[in-house]
Amino acid sequence: MPAEEENIVWKGRSHQIVNFWPLMASLLLVILICVAAYSWSGWIAIAAIVPLAYGGWLWLGTKLMVFEFTSERMRIYEGILNQEINEVELYRVKDTRLEKPFWLRIFGLSNIVLQTSDRSLPEVNIRAVRDGAEIREKLRKQVETLRDKKRVREVDFEGSDGDDGEFEGEFM
């Protein structure tokens, strides 16, 4: 029996609007440093490198973070100097939530928050993506399809009566 090929369901990245306020603060600091350099000494302008580098680092970090949903798993590629790849099997996704804060709705963006049963990645926050409702629905359908295919169900075990899960009784 041939193994099924893993297909990409969705691949994308966060919008740069997530860096709006830090980038604006960096720009304001660069302007202040340039005004100070003009007023006092030109050597002060060298200090503008720091907020420019910070803003560039933020921009590049967001640009290089890629989210990928395949038919089997979710991958998150992140990192500037060293790329780190985190993976979660899709059947481990317990809950999906769509958030549409006012600031993001202005730009037609939304956040997708995934709760997983994976201990290494219990929550995945995909910030500021276009068509968030459509992406969430694709993901939800893929999770259900994969669970049916693998015959897996997600079950949470939590103590309901406040005990520590200890058995008080005799074995038979």
Question: Can you give the pLDDT of all 172 residues of the chain as single tens digits?
Answer: 455 788 999 999 999 999 999 999 999 999 999 998 888 887 888 889 999 999 999 999 999 999 999 999 999 999 999 999 999 998 899 999 999 999 999 999 999 999 999 999 999 999 999 999 999 999 999 999 888 887 777 666 665 555 555 544 444 4
Domain count, the chain: 1
Cα–Cα distance, 101 to 141 (Å, whole number): 24
CATH number where 54 lies: 2.30.29
Judge whether 158 lies within some domain: no
Cα–Cα distance, 96 to 71 (Å, whole number): 17
- Domain extent at residue 25: 8-150
Judge whether 169 lies within some domain: no
Q: How far is CA 156 from CA 22, 92, 139, in A?
A: 39, 12, 21
Judge whether 24 lies within some domain: yes
Judge whether 74 lies within some domain: yes
Provide the CA 38 distance to its chain's centre, in angstroms: 42
Q: What DSSP state is assigned to residue 131?
A: T
- Give CA angle at 167 (162, 172), nearest 5°: 150
Judge whether 91 lies within some domain: yes
Judge whether 168 lies within some domain: no
Judge whether 86 lies within some domain: yes
Closest by Cα among 83, 87, 80 to 63: 80
Instruction: Tell me the pTM.
Output: 0.79
Judge whether 170 lies within some domain: no
